[in-house]
């Protein structure tokens, strides 16, 4: 949805245009991630094209798995025309390392569950190595 630079949107329209729910927009404002909305005389939030662009930026960063703190740093870098791309790259590389660690941990969880599922008879008996492992009755590597 293209927004003219002079256009002013309600929170619902800004949500639709940015892909960020109204609830999340209010949350981002409350934590200071994005600047508070402009207000009408009757105290309704309004958003301009720049605010929607910022919300889209946040949505894309969230989609890539960046934390709120990282998104805050990315926003600051995005808004700083004098930034060094090396700073952005370093942030992205650190995020990649975090993702790789999470992927490795998830692969280990998957391997553990596969091992337990292979050991489970899946019949009418109550004995279950999956439950035993979760309950801490047995260890599994």
Rg (CA), the chain: 23
pTM recorded for the entire structure: 0.80
Residue 2 has pLDDT above 70, yes or no: no
Question: Residues 26-32: contacts with CB within 8 Å, 24+ apart?
Answer: 28/55, 28/58, 31/68
pLDDT tens track for 34-50 = 999 988 889 899 999 99
37 neighbors 47 (Cβ within 8 angstroms) = yes
For position 47, what pLDDT does the model report? 94
Architecture of 1-83 per CATH?
Orthogonal Bundle (1.10)
Domain assignments of the chain as residue spans, ordered by start: 1-83, 94-141
Quick one: average pLDDT of 85-94?
A: 97
Q: What pLDDT shows up at residue 138?
A: 59
pLDDT given for residue 56 in this prediction: 97
């Amino acid at each position: 949805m293209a927004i003219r630079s002079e256009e002013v949107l309600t929170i619902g329209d800004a949500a639709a245009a940015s892909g960020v729910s109204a609830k999340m927009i209010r949350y981002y404002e409350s934590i200071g991630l994005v600047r508070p909305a402009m207000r009408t005389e009757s105290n309704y939030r309004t958003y301009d094209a720049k605010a929607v662009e910022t919300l889209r930026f946040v949505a894309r960063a969230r989609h890539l798995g960046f934390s709120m703190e990282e998104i805050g740093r990315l926003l600051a870098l995005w808004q700083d025309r004098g930034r060094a791309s090396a700073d952005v790259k370093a942030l992205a590389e650190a995020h990649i390392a975090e993702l790789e660690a999470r992927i490795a941990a998830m692969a280990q969880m998957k391997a553990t569950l596969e091992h337990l599922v292979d050991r489970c008879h899946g019949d009418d008996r109550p004995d279950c190595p999956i439950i035993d492992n979760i309950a801490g009755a047995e260890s599994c590597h």
